[in-house]
Structure 1
Amino acid sequence: MFNNQKFLTCGVMAEIPSWLANLMWYMVLTMEVEKKDYLQVFTLTKLPTGQHIIHEQEQQPYRYRLDVSCDDAVDTKVFVIDNLTHSTMLFSEEY
């Protein structure tokens, strides 16, 4: 899963820094689980020192936390969805 063409919605392209979008794609591709769920969830929270990221999936439970120093942190929830022909990164409210 997720080894196909990748797309971002216009909202994600406009509001998520490119380094953060690239990091989330990388986190999905390199996660160490037996099976990846078609729906990956990222909860992004601003910290005084940067970006707090929680990456989760529901089936085969998975949760990973990461803090990254940066000046352009965001507060939002992002989904990454694989439908076998392509993968899309979108805000949870766009689902």
Structure 2
Amino acid sequence: MFNSNRYLTCGIDSKIPLDLQLFMWECVDQLPPERDYLQVFDLEQVGTMQSITHRSEEPEYRKVYLLPSEKPITEKLYIIDDGDHCTILLASEY
């Protein structure tokens, strides 16, 4: 799972810096092979830090990262594997 070609939406391209996109893909890549097809990322500002909460339902998973950031972002994103391709998108684009 998550080994197909990877795509991003226009919303991701315009709102999420490339370094954060790559970080979230790496988070998914580091998961054990038993992965949910839907990975959820909640981005929030915590002081001057970027908080990224990565979670999934089956199997249940939750991990929080705090990264230094000059411009923290507040967004909800999904990374979805539909079997043919993997896509990162804003929740509002779903």
Coarse TM-score class (shorter-chain normalised): over 0.9
**Matches of 1:49 and 1:73, distance apart in 2:** 7
% identical aligned pairs: 37
Task: List alignment gaps of at least 5 residues for structure 1.
Answer: none
Kindly report structure 1 stretches of 4+ aligned residues shifted beyond 2 Å: none
TM-score by length of 1: 0.94
Q: What is the deviation of 1:85?
A: 1.3
- 2:76 pairs with 1:77: yes
After TM superposition, the score normalised by the length of structure 2 is: 0.95
Q: Distance in 2 between matches of 1:72 and 1:49?
A: 8
Q: In structure 2, how many angstroms separate the alpha carbons of the residues matched to 1:29 and 1:73?
A: 23
- Count of aligned positions: 94
The alpha carbon displacement at 1:49 in A equals 2.1
The residue aligned with 1:4 is 4
Distance across 2 between alignment mates of 1:43 and 1:94: 15
Say whether the 8 Å CA contact 1:17–1:72 is kept in structure 2: no
Letter in 1 for 2:83: L
